Chains A and B, each alone.
Chain A
Amino acid sequence: MAFQSVPTRQPTRRTTELMLTIGAWLLGVMGTVQIGWATGVGMTTPMWVTVGIVGALAIAMHMVIRSRAQYADPILLPVATLLTILGLVMIYRIDVASAQRAERNSAPAPTPDVYAQLTWFAVAVVLFIATLILISDHRRLQRFTYTFGFLGLAGLILPLLPVVGSTINGATLWVHIFGLSFQPAEASKILLTIFFAGYLVVKRDSLALVRTKVFGVGFPRPKDVGPLLVAWIVSLGVLIFEHDLGTSLLFFGLFVLMLYIATQRRSWLILGAGLFVIGATIAYFAFGHVRVRVDIWWDPWGDANNTGYQLVQSLYGLASGGMFGSGLGQGYPEFVPFANTDFIVAAIGEELGLTGMCALLLLFAILVQRGLRTALAVRDSFGQLLAVGLSIVLALQVFVIIGGVTRLIPLTGLTTPFLSYGGSSLVANWVIIALLIRISDRARRPDVFVPSVDEALTQVVRRV
């Protein structure tokens, strides 16, 4: 009896993961070859090397998962790899377009960005592997809840400090140290998610307490509203002092949703929405940069050659792509300013069409769905909150930036996860994937049952 009750070996699905990852890589190779063909630059040696390195990096991640998190969700790695590869392909595409334009105008050739992005991908892979190796159990993170909270806040404030902080394109997001520059907000979004999860696991019972009821909806005690107010003020602070609408929106939305999940109280959503409306109204009337964004959203053609230029060009690009796109290498992605960062989705929509856009959105949806599934499957509350928080970060960021670029909502500067050119974002998103993989490994791992002699005798029937 005892032997029969031991669960059959849980399939690890690592081979599935490997096959899907190879598939993602092959798509990238085809995309690169297509660009070379369509633009007439051909397949250059550096691009073959790039393609090889990308493949090696993906396989390296797979090998680490195989040894360190063998029960992890097999979909996360291939989807994130495919998104990163799609980003590299588009960045390469835009490099080619910029170089050809410079050549036509006999301007000096611009530095290609694809190799820098490849380097950042390598860094991201190193951090991905480090995360998986250093954090063998996600629950250990809970011990450092307040440390992460402090570091997360510090990351938000860092760009405001003299000497290290700097302002680029109107937003104070950057930190320069030792000749390197990065956006600490990208790290903050992970650190603060860990902090929120750890904090809410501990405090959720008191936060769920109902004091007063208004229209049948129970509202929390005023003294418990404190943390929400702090999150609100910090978000407004980011907006006011760093002019970063997107990050501000992301943090506040994340905190409110996690609060709701931890407490199961809809009242937090109502309070959060109320504070959002107040904050948004203040921001609209008090800050010119917010007002400009909203006005552009309302009527991009009102100032099509100046403030509305980016958005209008983005819409033109998307429209010219139509259902099936112009084909890789055959559009004009370089017409949209910041084509390889904020507006990379416009370039994808132009060259890959609605078909490509839907595929892209579904890839993100799969990623978020796997994150939420992990949250449902993992048994500890901290893991649940962390997984759901990380999924929300991804989902909100995708919605805010793609919604902005496609004029669904006002445009706020955020990078598109995995796609946009920029190291901090890429590295941070891969760390998110590493954490989700770690949690999913825990969720899917069969209970390790090492029968001691005593247990083998006493515990005949195992809980399934």
Chain B
Amino acid sequence: MASSQELSDFLRDVERRAFKQTVYAVRDEHVALDIVQDAMLKLAEKYADKPAAEYPMLFQRILQNTMKDFWRRQKVRNLWTTLLSSFGAGQDGEEDHDPLDTIDVEDESSNPAVQLERSQTMKIIEKALEKLPARQREAFILRYWEDMDVAETAEMMGCSQGSVKTHCSRALHTMAALLEKQGLGSKVIATLVIES
């Protein structure tokens, strides 16, 4: 059984990554925050008796399932929104802007030009990632970002190892093509990695 300290360390380690991954999937920061917080709570409440070594797989599974629940609810909500859209017209873009939302932390680069360039590059990469079909994005994130092997990714996605390889291969080719189109070839990315 993991201690509260172990859980805290684990969550601190994964929360930012989990948040970004969720943002790429749901394309809404508020929703992504809700999903990540929900996943953290579920892990703590339902799997308190599990050892800390099992947390990474469990948390990823909970996160993926919470996202799927969100999409299911969203489907129903979209149906109602479409039906009732005429009543709610003109509500978009009226939210107050909070300066806290745009203040980034831990950006060690003080040069605004470098910051801008990095930010624009990341936007291109994020857009490319968002453009991937859901299953390909899931495979890409689990396999390369979460550094899981093919068997673990297959278990997480509930499909065969062959399917994981196919999803990954397609994701890699699509990403490479999208980035190349934006002038971000493999050499440019390699340079960025060295700089960061």
**Are A and B a genuine interacting pair, yes or no?**
no
A residues whose Cβ falls under 8 Å from a Cβ of B = none
